[in-house]
Structure 1
Amino acid sequence: MSKNMPNAGDFMEHTIEYYKEEIRKPVIPELEVTSLADYINFTVAAKESYRRALFRGQADKEWEIESSAYRALKANFKVPTQKMMRDYHTDLIREFRQLGENIEYKGVSLIAHLQHNGAKTFLLDYTKNPLVALWFACISEKEKDAGVYMAKTGVGTDEWIPLDGDIEIADLFAKKDITYQYEPAKINRRIICQQSVFLVSLSGKIEKSKHITVVIPKKHKDEILSQLSAVGISRSVLFPDFYGLVEWFSIEWFSFNKEAEKEDYDKLMSSGAKYTDQFKFEEAVTVFEEAAGLAQSLFGENSAETAASYGSLGNVYDDQGKYDQALEWFEKALAIREKVLGKEHPDTASTYNNIALVYDDQGKYDQALEWFEKALAIAEKVLGKEHPDTASTYNNIASVYYRQGEYDKALEWFEKALAIFEKTLGKEHPDTATTYNNVASVYDNQGKYDQALEWYEKALNIYEKVLGKNHPSTVLTRENMERTIKKMDGAP
C-alpha cells in the first residue's frame, strides 16, 4: 500500500465527511481494497453522497478512461480530434444502413446496438451495480493492479446530462462537449444483468478526476472473483445471451484446464523428487522430462517453472555420477534464471551452488570453489550473513577444503556455518548436527581423536533425539565413532 493511501479501516471511519470536504479538490481520493467486504463498505458509504453513482471497472488501473473508438483512432492518429470521432460514427451508421438491416434504432441507440455487437464506438460502459464493475476489474490482466472508477454523479455541476437515444449523430456533435449519460432500453438480458449505462463524451474519453478511484491489488483479484461468484456475480450471469455463453464457455474451459495442467506440473515435480529420494533415477528422469515439456507449454521456455524442471534433471544426473549431463541441465536452468530472475536472485545462487557441487564431485576443486563463491556473494548480499542458506554455502566451501586436505581452512568455514545454524536453527536441529559431524571428521583426519569423538557425540545425541536411532545419519555417525575408537586403540 502506498504511503499516502489510507487503509480500508481508516478510510471508512470518515468517508462521508471526507467526500463532502474533498470532492472538488484536484487530488483524487483513493482507497485500496483487498476483499469484497471492504469494497461493499466503501460503496455503501460513498453512495450516501452519490446516490446515482455509476461504476466502471478496468483491469489495469494505469489505463485511461477511453472509449473503444478513441483507442482505435489513437492507434492510427496520435491525437484524435472531435471531427474524426464525428466522421467515424457517421460513416459507421451509413455502412450499417447500406446492409439493408431492418433495425428500428437510430442515433445513439443504434450506436449502442452496434457496440453490443462488437463495433468500436464513443460509448463508455458503466454500470449502476458496483459489484459488476468490480468483476470487470478483476477478470483479466492478472499481473496488473485494477481500478474501479465511481463517476461522481448527483452533486451540483458533476451531474451528467441525460441524452435522448434517438438524437442523430450530427445533432449530438453540434452540442457542447460535455459528458452525457445514456441509459439504453432493456432490450436484452445482458443489459439487464449488467445494469448497463453509457457515458458519452464527444472527445471519446473522460478524465479520471471526475471519479473516485478504488484500487484492487493484483494479488487479490482471484480471491475477490471467488467471493463475487459466491454472491452470484460471474461470467455466465453477466453474459447470459448466446454470444456471452460461447465466450464464457471458451474462457472458462481454457482457464479450468490451464489450472488443471498447473496441478499436473506440480504433481510431476513432486513425483520426480520422490523417485530421486528412492534412487529410482530412470523413473525420475522420465517424470522430470515430462514436467519440463509441460512447463514449456504452460509457462514458456524462459520461466521459473521450466528452470526448476531443468534443475531437477541436473540433480538426478549428478546423483548418478553423470556429471556432463548434470552440468548441461544446470547450465540450461542457469541461463533462464539469470535472464528472468537476475544474477542476484536466491534461485540463481542455488544453481551456482549446484554447478559447484558437480565440480566438487569430479574433484575439480578450484572450479568448485569459484562457483561456490559466486553463490556465497549472492547469499550474503540478498539473504544476509546469518541466513541458513548462507551457512549451507559456508559448509560446502569447507567441504572442498576438507577434501583438499586443507583442514585448518575447512575448520574455519565449518565453524562459520555452525555459528549461524546454532543461532538460527538451534542446537538440536539436524543441520546443526551435520555440521558437528563435519567438524568431527576434520579432527578425525588430523588424528585428534579425542576432539573428534567429542564432536561425533554431539551430532549423535541430536540425531538419536530428533531423527531416531535407526535413521541413516544416526547409524553413520555411530559407525564413524566406532572407527575412531579403533584408531585410538591402534587397530588397523
Structure 2
Amino acid sequence: MAYEELLSVEIHNVNELIDFVKENSLKKFHVATNSMTFYRGQSNYDWHLEPAVYRNEKFQNESIYIKEFERLRPADFSYDNNFDKLVKMQHYGLPTRLLDITTNPLVALFFACQHNLDKDGAFYYFSTPTFWEDNWAVSFVTDYVFNPETCIQELVKRASERNRLPSVFLENDDAEKIIMHTLSVPAHAILPRLTNQRILQQSGGFLLFGMSITGIEVSKNLGTYGRKYIKLSKLDEGQEKLLCPVIKKIRIPAEYKKSIVEELDLLNINEGFLFPELEYQAKNIIRHV
C-alpha cells in the first residue's frame, strides 16, 4: 500500500505530463490480472478525494436524494442495474458516492487546470485492481445504496437470495465477515458501460466509495433480540490513502494552468470535446469564434 505526494515534482506543461505517464506506465505495482491505471484532476490541490455526497453533511441524506429522484422521474430510472442508475444520477448532478476518474491522463490534466486559476491544481495517478459493474461486490454495495439496511443477518439473507454472495462464503460461515468487509472497502475502481456520450468522450471510470464501520450493536428488543446491527458512516479523511493500492499526487502550480489549458485545446481536449451536450457545444463555438 502506498500513497505519495510527489512534493518535488510539478507539472508545468503537457510534455511533462506525458513524460510522467510514460515513465510510470512501465511499472507494474501488483500482480492482479485486471489491474489498470486511472487518473483524476482536481483544480484545488488542497481538496481531498471525496465524492459529492460525502461533502457538507450530505451523507445522511443519500437515500433521500435517490428515492426522490426515482419518485419524480420513474421512467428515467426504470432499468434493473442499480449501478447504471447511480451513474445517470451522477451525470445529472445528484450528489452520489461515485467519484469520476479517467483512463486518459490528458482529460485529468484538463480538469486539474480548467477552474480556480488562482489555486494550484492536483493530478492524481491510480494503479488499482479494476472491477466491472456486474461484479458481485459492486452489485452488493450499489444495492445497499438504493436499499439501506443495517441488520447484518438481513444483509446476509439479501446477498444469498439474490445470488450475489459467492456460495463458498456461505458454506464456510464467513458471510457476515465478507458482508462487513465489502461495505467497508474504501473504494472499488470500476469501468462502466458506455451508457452515455460523456463517459465515452472522457474515457470515464468511477471510484465507488465504501463506508466506515463505527460499531456493532446486538439488539435486546423483544422482536429483534440477538440481531446484530452495524453503525456506518462515510469514510474519514485519514482513509484517503487507502482508496487504491497506489496513489500518486502531483502539484500543478496556478501560474501554469492557463497555458496548459491552451496546449490541451490544440489537442482538442476542451469543453466542446469532453461535454457533448448542446450547451457546451455553444460555449465552445463562442470561445473559438
TM-score class, shorter-chain normalisation, is: 0.5 to 0.7
Rate the CA distance shift 1:148–1:243 in 2: closer, same or farther, 3 A: same
Selected match of 1:131 from 90, 106, 109: 106
Q: CA deviation at 1:118?
A: 1.1
CA contact (8 A) 1:105 1:166 kept: no
> For the residues of structure 2 that align with 1:132 and 1:182, how far apart are their CA atoms?
17
Selected match of 2:18 from 19, 40, 61: 40
Whether 1:196 aligns to 2:174 is: no
- What residue identity is the alignment partner of 1:29? L
Q: CA deviation at 1:100?
A: 4.9
CA contact (8 A) 1:133 1:148 kept: yes
Selected match of 1:187 from 195, 201, 218: 195
Rate the CA distance shift 1:57–1:237 in 2: closer, same or farther, 3 A: same
> For the residues of structure 2 that align with 1:26 and 1:41, how far apart are their CA atoms?
20
Residue number in structure 2 paired with 1:397: none
Residue number in structure 1 paired with 2:258: 222
Rate the CA distance shift 1:93–1:171 in 2: closer, same or farther, 3 A: closer
Selected match of 1:69 from 26, 49, 53: 53
1:347-386 correspondence runs (5 A)? none
Residue number in structure 1 paired with 2:184: 177
Between structure 1 and structure 2, the one with the greater Rg is 1
Structure 2 counterpart SS, 1:94 = helix
Q: CA deviation at 1:27?
A: 4.9
1:17-416 correspondence runs (5 A)? 24=1, 27-30=4-7, 31-50=9-28, 52-73=36-57, 84=60, 88-102=61-75, 103=77, 104-153=79-128, 159-164=129-134, 167=140, 168-170=142-144, 175-178=182-185, 179-203=187-211, 207-208=240-241, 210-245=246-281, 248-249=283-284, 253=286
Question: TM-score normalized by structure 1?
Answer: 0.40
Cα deviations by residue, 1:415-441 (Å, 9 ceiling, x for unpaired): xxxxxxxxxxxxxxxxxxxxxxxxxxx
Which piece of structure 1 moves more, 63-72 or 200-209?
Answer: 200-209
Q: CA deviation at 1:37?
A: 0.4
Rate the CA distance shift 1:208–1:219 in 2: closer, same or farther, 3 A: farther
Structure 2 counterpart SS, 1:65 = coil
CA contact (8 A) 2:39 2:125 kept: yes
Cα deviations by residue, 1:197-244 (Å, 9 ceiling, x for unpaired): 000112356615651012111111111111111112111000012354
CA contact (8 A) 1:160 1:181 kept: yes
> For the residues of structure 2 that align with 1:25 and 1:197, how far apart are their CA atoms?
21
Q: CA deviation at 1:57?
A: 0.2
CA contact (8 A) 1:59 1:147 kept: yes
CA contact (8 A) 1:228 1:234 kept: yes
Structure 2 counterpart SS, 1:200 = strand
Rate the CA distance shift 1:189–1:163 in 2: closer, same or farther, 3 A: closer
> For the residues of structure 1 that align with 2:52 and 2:267, how far apart are their CA atoms?
30
> For the residues of structure 2 that align with 1:41 and 1:237, how far apart are their CA atoms?
24
Q: Which residues of structure 2 form unaligned runs of 5+?
A: 29-34, 149-178, 212-233
> For the residues of structure 1 that align with 2:119 and 2:62, how far apart are their CA atoms?
32
Residue number in structure 2 paired with 1:476: none
> For the residues of structure 2 that align with 1:145 and 1:162, how far apart are their CA atoms?
33
Q: CA deviation at 1:190?
A: 1.0
Rate the CA distance shift 1:95–1:190 in 2: closer, same or farther, 3 A: same
Question: TM-score normalized by structure 2?
Answer: 0.65
> For the residues of structure 1 that align with 2:46 and 2:248, how far apart are their CA atoms?
14
Rate the CA distance shift 1:112–1:211 in 2: closer, same or farther, 3 A: same
Q: Name the one with the larger helix percent.
A: 1
Rate the CA distance shift 1:191–1:136 in 2: closer, same or farther, 3 A: same
Aligned length: 214
Q: CA deviation at 1:25?
A: 5.3
Q: CA deviation at 1:160?
A: 4.7
Q: CA deviation at 1:152?
A: 2.4
Structure 2 counterpart SS, 1:29 = strand
Q: CA deviation at 1:58?
A: 0.2
CA contact (8 A) 1:55 1:148 kept: yes
- What residue identity is the alignment partner of 1:169? D
Rate the CA distance shift 1:26–1:195 in 2: closer, same or farther, 3 A: closer
Q: Name the one with the larger strand percent.
A: 2
Rate the CA distance shift 1:184–1:233 in 2: closer, same or farther, 3 A: same
CA contact (8 A) 1:142 1:218 kept: yes
Q: CA deviation at 1:143?
A: 0.5
Rate the CA distance shift 1:162–1:176 in 2: closer, same or farther, 3 A: farther
Q: CA deviation at 1:148?
A: 0.7
Residue number in structure 1 paired with 2:228: none
Cα deviations by residue, 1:306-358 (Å, 9 ceiling, x for unpaired): xxxxxxxxxxxxxxxxxxxxxxxxxxxxxxxxxxxxxxxxxxxxxxxxxxxxx
> For the residues of structure 2 that align with 1:33 and 1:116, how far apart are their CA atoms?
29
Percent sequence identity over aligned pairs: 26
- What residue identity is the alignment partner of 1:72? N
> For the residues of structure 2 that align with 1:52 and 1:60, how far apart are their CA atoms?
25
